[in-house]
């Protein structure tokens, strides 16, 4: 008698729903939408009659003071939850360097140069506008960042038929841009360093990396193992780095760099693929886009505008003018100018699928600073400063303007590429004539013979 194989059922009733939700959270459009929604809720709440509740929630302090971890909820979001976002950025950056587009100099030089131009020119524009005031000049790094999640989400919404090299260009540019922003935070926004906690943090990160390398098959095959083993070690590294004075989000990048990308020889011999970096990115993406980044945006974007007087003050503040001009104008100018100089001086050829007008649209998308810019604004001016509030208003205004301007260009280009795609699909045989217009040839009828019989 044959046995019917047992039907596997989920471990708990909500498994299917959780799977669908996590799949949605991995899409750029959903992650960007949650980011915007959280920021809008924060702005509305912070300017409502019950605004005191928002600021009381943001400033609520929790944690263990002897370990220097008694922080406000806003600080926990900026220093703790955003480390998850930077962990994913580090994973993506390492994969690009090891097996991706940054591995080859010929493909990496264009987006790397574009990212450098997109950092230098906005910083110079900001400094030119704020003038020699040292108290305002310290915000020079605010317009240098690009929000990779927000920018890619806008591109996904408006660019369904844009050439794939354009999306790769934006992703690579944004990843390199984030790396530069991380270096800026580590170098320019670290005032005092405690040596002993820093040494302990480095040692813990090294232990984390050894365990991740040695037991990659365990962590790739059993998701719970990473939560039970690697997460506690990562938290200890984060805590000591926070105590050292270095911004704690750097811990996310440092830990990500220790995660293996390529499969080991033993795993390859067994025919299995153990790209642990890609596996972790797949697992933790919903946590970042669905919780960590929206919560940070919620606590960081809440600014009490102060009515018409507050708007008038913000509009006339050199910080606001400098950030908006640097993000909306400086980013595309820096990206296009640096790529153009590279093609002229270095004689580097762009991908044949890329057009300068497409790069202009991507350059405008890079002007969406948002997440990292909000973080740098807090590091530049501190919470409670009027310049910090004005900087946040400027970041959100510039992000909206950059999104609208980029969308207006890329939507036109997307329609053009869609028409080209449809024309190529119609003309399948490649003869230049649309096949739908080619009528079938009439059948040949039998030719009657001279005797009147059919041949």
Asked if 38 contacts 299 with a C-beta cutoff of 8 angstroms, the reply is no
The confidence score (pLDDT) of residue 202 equals 95
Tell me which of 5-9, 254-258, 363-367, 448-452 is least confident: 5-9
Asked if 374 contacts 392 with a C-beta cutoff of 8 angstroms, the reply is yes
Nearest to 249 by CA among 365, 395, 371, 111: 371
Q: What average pLDDT does the chain have?
A: 82
pLDDT in tens, 211-263: 999 998 888 888 889 889 999 999 999 999 988 888 888 899 899 999 998 65
pLDDT at 358 over 80: yes
The confidence score (pLDDT) of residue 331 equals 95
pLDDT in tens, 105-119: 777 888 889 999 999
Q: Encoding tokens for residue 234?
A: 């990562």
Asked if 170 contacts 143 with a C-beta cutoff of 8 angstroms, the reply is no
pLDDT above 90 coverage of the chain, percent: 29
Nearest to 284 by CA among 417, 85, 425, 125: 85
pLDDT at 210 over 90: yes
Exposure string of 304-337, with b = 16+ CB inside 10 Å and e = fewer, is ebeeeebeebbeebbbbbbbbbbbbbbbbbbbbb
Tell me which of 75-79, 248-252, 368-372, 425-429 is least confident: 425-429
- Separation of alpha carbons 92 and 289, rounded Å: 15
First to last CA, the chain: 66
pLDDT in tens, 162-172: 888 888 888 88
Task: Mention every residue, 6+ apart, whose C-beta is less than 8 A from residue 380.
Answer: 138, 139, 141, 142, 189, 388, 391
The confidence score (pLDDT) of residue 36 equals 84
The confidence score (pLDDT) of residue 1 equals 45
pLDDT at 289 over 80: yes
Nearest to 362 by CA among 395, 402, 325, 390: 402
Tell me which of 16-20, 74-78, 302-306, 399-403 is least confident: 16-20
The confidence score (pLDDT) of residue 255 equals 94
Asked if 435 contacts 429 with a C-beta cutoff of 8 angstroms, the reply is yes
Give the number of other CB atoms < 10 A from CB of residue 66: 6
Q: What share of the chain is helix, strand, coil (3-state, %, to 5)?
A: 75, 0, 25
Q: Which residues pair with 215 in a beta bridge?
A: none
Nearest to 99 by CA among 281, 279, 277: 277
The confidence score (pLDDT) of residue 319 equals 92
- Separation of alpha carbons 112 and 102, rounded Å: 8
Tell me which of 95-99, 205-209, 265-269, 291-295 is least confident: 265-269
The confidence score (pLDDT) of residue 386 equals 84
pLDDT at 454 over 60: no
User: What's the rounded mean pLDDT across residues 95-114?
Assistant: 82
The confidence score (pLDDT) of residue 26 equals 65
Give the number of other CB atoms < 10 A from CB of residue 411: 14
The confidence score (pLDDT) of residue 7 equals 42
pLDDT at 434 over 70: no
Q: Which residues pair with 448 in a beta bridge?
A: 454
């Amino acid at each position: 008698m044959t046995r019917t194989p047992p039907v596997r059922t989920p471990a708990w009733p909500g498994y299917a729903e959780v799977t669908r939700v996590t799949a949605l959270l991995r899409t750029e459009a959903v992650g960007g939408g949650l980011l915007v929604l959280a920021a809008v809720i924060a702005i509305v709440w912070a300017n409502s009659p019950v605004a005191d509740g928002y600021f009381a929630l943001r400033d609520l302090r929790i944690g263990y003071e002897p370990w220097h971890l008694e922080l406000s909820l806003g600080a926990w979001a900026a220093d703790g939850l955003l480390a998850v976002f930077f962990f994913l950025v580090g994973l993506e950056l390492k994969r690009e360097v090891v097996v991706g587009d940054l591995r080859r100099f010929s493909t990496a030089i264009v987006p790397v140069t574009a990212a450098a131009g997109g950092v230098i020119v906005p910083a110079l524009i900001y400094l030119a506008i704020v003038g020699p005031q040292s108290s305002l000049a310290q915000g020079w790094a605010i317009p240098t960042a690009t929000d990779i999640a927000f920018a890619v989400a806008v591109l996904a919404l408006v660019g369904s038929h844009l050439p794939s090299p354009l999306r790769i260009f934006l992703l690579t540019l944004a990843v390199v841009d984030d790396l530069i922003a991380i270096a800026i935070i580590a170098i320019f926004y670290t005032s005092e360093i405690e040596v002993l906690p820093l040494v302990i943090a480095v040692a813990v990160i090294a232990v984390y990396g050894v365990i991740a390398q040695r037991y990659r098959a365990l962590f790739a095959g059993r998701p719970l193992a990473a939560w039970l083993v690697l997460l506690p070690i990562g938290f200890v590294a984060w805590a000591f780095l926070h105590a050292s004075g270095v911004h704690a989000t750097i811990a996310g990048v440092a830990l990500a760099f220790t995660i293996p990308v390529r499969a080991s020889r033993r795993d390859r011999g067994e025919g299995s693929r153990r790209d642990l970096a890609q596996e972790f990115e797949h697992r933790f993406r919903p946590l970042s886009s669905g919780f960590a980044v929206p919560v940070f945006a919620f606590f960081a974007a809440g600014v009490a505008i102060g009515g018409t007087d507050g708007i008038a003050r913000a509009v006339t503040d050199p910080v606001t003018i400098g950030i908006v001009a640097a993000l909306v104008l400086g980013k595309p100018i820096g990206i296009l100018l640096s790529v153009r100089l590279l093609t002229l001086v270095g004689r580097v050829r762009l991908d044949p699928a890329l057009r300068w007008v497409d790069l202009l649209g991507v350059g405008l998308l890079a002007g969406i600073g948002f997440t990292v810019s909000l973080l740098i604004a807090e590091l530049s001016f501190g919470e409670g400063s009027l310049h910090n509030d004005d900087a946040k208003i400027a970041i959100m205004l510039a992000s909206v303007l950059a999104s609208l301007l980029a969308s207006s260009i890329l939507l036109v280009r997307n329609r053009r590429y869609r028409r080209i795609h449809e024309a190529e699909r119609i003309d399948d045989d490649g003869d230049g004539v649309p096949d739908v217009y080619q009528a079938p040839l009439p059948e040949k009828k039998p030719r009657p013979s001279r005797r009147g019989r059919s041949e």
